Amino acid sequence: MNKGLIRILDAAPVAMVVSHPDGSFEYVNPAMLQMLGYTEDEIYQKEVTISPPDEWASNQVIREQLKTSPFTPITIEKRYVHKSGRIIPGLLTIVALPDAKGDVERLIAQIVDLSQRKKEEESLWLLTLLLNNAHDAIYVADPLSGGILECNRLGHERLGYTHDEMLRMNVTDINKSLSVETSWQEMVEKTKAGDNIRESIHTHKDGSSFPVEASVSYVTKGDKGYMISVIRDITVRKKNEAIIWKQANFDPLTELPNRRLLQDRLKQEIKKAQRSKQRIAVLYLDLDRFKEVNDSLGHPKGDVLLVETAKRLKSCVRDSDTLARQGGDEFAIILGELGEKNHVERVVKDILTKLSEPFQLGDDRVYVSASIGICFYPDDGATPESLFKGADLAMYSAKDQGRNCFRYFTPSMHQAAITRIGLVRDLREALERNQFHLVYQPVVDLTTGEIHNAEALLRWQHPEQGILYPLEFITIAEETKLIADIGSWVFHQAVRQILNWRQNHDPDFKISINTSPIQYRDSKEEMKRWIPYLQEQGLPGQALAIEITEGVLMDSHTGITEQLIHFHAAGIDVVLDDFGTGYSSLAHLKKFDVDYIKIDRTFIKDLTVNPDDLVLCEAIVAMAHKLGIKVIAEGIETPEQREILKTAGCDYGQGYLFSKPVTATEFEQLLSQKEQT
């Protein structure tokens, strides 16, 4: 072989080999040795094979080719075996060299090692596989123009485009909120500055859009930059977030904002009002006697009532106002951007009118009213807490004023609230410190004028404020549940008095005591021990009467019915007090075996001047007598009232005309007078 040729082949960076027609090597260059891992001595050994045994197919092709046109170079991919056994992919170019006669003298071949390239091809393929199977859409875009340079499969499929279509598009076609000139450039700058995560909206080919989270990065190669965006479809997450947000901020029953959202809204309104120097009104609204409806008609109907109330309230306020459900039957309204206070009055009157219309709950038609408290920002308070508190106090004041009305917050309400806190504290100690006593008022037989029995009425000798009347503390005692213990004290005190008077004055004497609905719900079941206690004292049930208010009858609490039946069965009279002020019906009276009804003082007061009241009293008496119920009229102050009631057929009377409530000693004098006559 030509020396010059050998020198070139020796220096060539590509594997070269010269072989004889029989296949034996004539020359193998260093690059070839290096590629296959043999030394020069080893490679010429006969046993060395550099072609793997299963490579016969390509070998066959080469043989055929060399047979037909040996002097035309052929190029073919072929595999080789490294000395270690490792397979090396290679690209073989081979040609025969002729001798002087034109026969094949030797073959010269060049083999390019394809290992590196194959590896690169494979990793590129894997990379594509990875990208196309990713659950995120991935884009590479030109930071200057916003043109899309490349994307993975999801990148075009999710948007409804083909890959080719996608590569002709611009990021602004996908993300409509971007414009090429400004926003895209801003986004590129932000990304360069390290602001990499953002949420936006992507638009599908069909025009629909969906929320995405983009994680963006800016990379450079040489002096060229690329924007890479990994885009995640967050439709489901957003939906879930919306559900969670709704659950956290809205009342499921009425779909109104709840207490929490109300707080937020008021905070925002205050900020707005600070800027615009305008007023806000905060309204608290509580349905009057909702509990009675709920208890008597059942919770499902109570729910319907609340939903209907919410609807009516909504129709009274503007869309920009906030109407919220505070819980139970309490609603709150924020009226923002108020110019003048008058507007509030219009809204409130509208509300009271709309709520006064009857509610149809299935077959039942009910009437409810509402008590509303109003508080103004900045006049009455500067923080949400103080405004809510103010509206709440004003609402309670409206309730105290007889319901179905509204009250504006005044600082004196705040003072009253503080006083109340003091009263609660004192009430807790009143029993231990022996500050209660009972006074007694006679109930008189209207035909004979004789004392029929006594009603025991509670008095509290307050250490600083002097005598306090039930109206000043019973509600607090009920709210704090202290009424259970107080009621028990009243019972035992009254029993002691009955024993005394039965022994000393009248062996059949009877005292009636007032009871609160709360006592019937008492978990200690104190009332269950009353009948056995009377028996222990040797007293029949007839020695005691229990006065209940209509609130007790309306309470669906099962224990109440049972307890009243027990009382009645033991001979204890059940008296329905303050009749006519509540919601009870004839059906109730029958169901609960009421023995007496006491016509409320408000009907007696104007008896002589208001013919309607007379008609009512006559009707009540007639109806009660038909049911076998006796009637007591309370609050009789004048002989005229007594006469009218007597004529109307009323059985008993009670009131200042006969006697004010008096101490036990004073009452004994009344009894003695009776004995003397």
Positions touching ligand C2E (CB under 6 A) are 441, 457-458, 469-471, 474, 487, 490, 513-516, 547, 577-578, 601, 634-637, 654-656, 661
Instruction: Give the pair of three-digit tokens for residue 347.
Output: 């809204």
Residue 372 CA, distance from chain mean position: 25
Element (H or E) spanning 420, and its range? helix 411-430
Q: Select the binding partner of residue 73 from Mg ion, ligand C2E, none (C-beta < 5 to 8 A, by kind).
A: none
Cβ-count burial 537-569 (b if 16+ within 10 Å, e if not): eeeebebbbbbbbbbbbbbeeeebbebbeebbe
Asked if 397 touches Mg ion (CB under 5 A), the answer is no
Looking at the Cβ atoms of 14 and 662, the one nearer to ligand C2E is 662
Q: Select the binding partner of residue 661 from ligand C2E, Mg ion, none (C-beta < 5 to 8 A, by kind).
A: ligand C2E
Neighbouring CB atoms inside 10 A of 252's CB total: 10
Looking at the Cβ atoms of 555 and 577, the one nearer to ligand C2E is 577
Looking at the Cβ atoms of 282 and 604, the one nearer to ligand C2E is 604
Looking at the Cβ atoms of 326 and 514, the one nearer to ligand C2E is 514
Instruction: Look up tokens 């290992």; give the residue.
Output: 115
Closest distance between ligand C2E and the C-beta of residue 373, in Å? 25
Q: Select the binding partner of residue 515 from ligand C2E, Mg ion, none (C-beta < 5 to 8 A, by kind).
A: ligand C2E
The residue within the footprint of Mg ion, chosen from 269, 286, 485, 547 (CB under 5 A), is: 547
Closest distance between ligand C2E and the C-beta of residue 260, in Å? 37
Closest distance between Mg ion and the C-beta of residue 440, in Å? 12
What gap in Å lies between CA 141 and CA 171, rounded to an integer? 7
Binding mask 488-527 for Mg ion (x = CB under 5 A): --------------------------x-------------
Q: End-to-end distance of the chain based on CA atoms, in angstroms?
A: 164
Looking at the Cβ atoms of 282 and 443, the one nearer to ligand C2E is 443
Half-sphere exposure at residue 237, Cβ-oriented, CA atoms within 13 angstroms? 8
Closest distance between ligand C2E and the C-beta of residue 438, in Å? 7
Asked if 113 touches Mg ion (CB under 5 A), the answer is no
Closest distance between ligand C2E and the C-beta of residue 538, in Å? 24
Residue 249 CA, distance from chain mean position: 5
DSSP string for residues in 508-523? T--EEEE--HHHHT-T
What gap in Å lies between CA 539 and CA 529, rounded to an integer? 14
Looking at the Cβ atoms of 321 and 547, the one nearer to Mg ion is 547
Instruction: Look up tokens 């002989």; give the residue.
Output: 639
Phi, psi of 423 (to 5 degrees): -65, -40
Looking at the Cβ atoms of 258 and 514, the one nearer to ligand C2E is 514
What gap in Å lies between CA 287 and CA 386, rounded to an integer? 22
- Binding residues for Mg ion restricted to 552-581, rule: CB under 5 A: 577-578
- Binding residues for Mg ion restricted to 631-660, rule: CB under 5 A: 634
Q: Select the binding partner of residue 655 from Mg ion, ligand C2E, none (C-beta < 5 to 8 A, by kind).
A: ligand C2E
Size of residue set near Mg ion by CB under 5 A: 5
Closest distance between ligand C2E and the C-beta of residue 658, in Å? 8
Looking at the Cβ atoms of 16 and 513, the one nearer to ligand C2E is 513
Residue 230, beta-bridge partner list: 138, 215
What gap in Å lies between CA 417 and CA 410, rounded to an integer? 11
Closest distance between Mg ion and the C-beta of residue 271, in Å? 51
Closest distance between Mg ion and the C-beta of residue 489, in Å? 17
Range 297-304 contact pairs with CB under 8 angstroms and sequence separation of 24 or more: 297/361, 297/364, 297/366, 298/556, 301/361, 301/362, 301/364, 303/253, 304/359, 304/361, 304/362
Closest distance between ligand C2E and the C-beta of residue 544, in Å? 13
User: In a 3-state reduction of DSSP, which class is residue 108?
Assistant: strand
Amino acid identity at 333:
I
In this structure, the chain runs to a length of: 677
Looking at the Cβ atoms of 550 and 577, the one nearer to Mg ion is 577
What gap in Å lies between CA 655 and CA 22, rounded to an integer? 142
Closest distance between ligand C2E and the C-beta of residue 471, in Å? 5
The answer for 37, left when phi > 0, alpha when psi is -120 to 50, beta otherwise, is left
Looking at the Cβ atoms of 251 and 547, the one nearer to Mg ion is 547
Asked if 288 touches Mg ion (CB under 5 A), the answer is no
Looking at the Cβ atoms of 155 and 635, the one nearer to Mg ion is 635
Report CA dihedral (250, 305, 347, 265) to the nearest 10 degrees: -10
Q: Select the binding partner of residue 89 from ligand C2E, Mg ion, none (C-beta < 5 to 8 A, by kind).
A: none
Which of the stretches 293-301, 483-491, 540-548, 645-653 binds Mg ion when contact is defined by CB under 5 A? 540-548
Q: Select the binding partner of residue 516 from Mg ion, ligand C2E, none (C-beta < 5 to 8 A, by kind).
A: ligand C2E
Closest distance between Mg ion and the C-beta of residue 510, in Å? 14
Q: Select the binding partner of residue 29 from Mg ion, ligand C2E, none (C-beta < 5 to 8 A, by kind).
A: none
Q: Kindly give, in sequence order, each residue whose CB lies less than 8 Å from that of residue 636, ignoring residues fewer than 6 positions away.
A: 604, 642, 645, 653, 654, 655, 656, 657, 658
Element (H or E) spanning 127, and its range? helix 115-132
Binding site for Mg ion (CB under 5 A): 514, 547, 577-578, 634
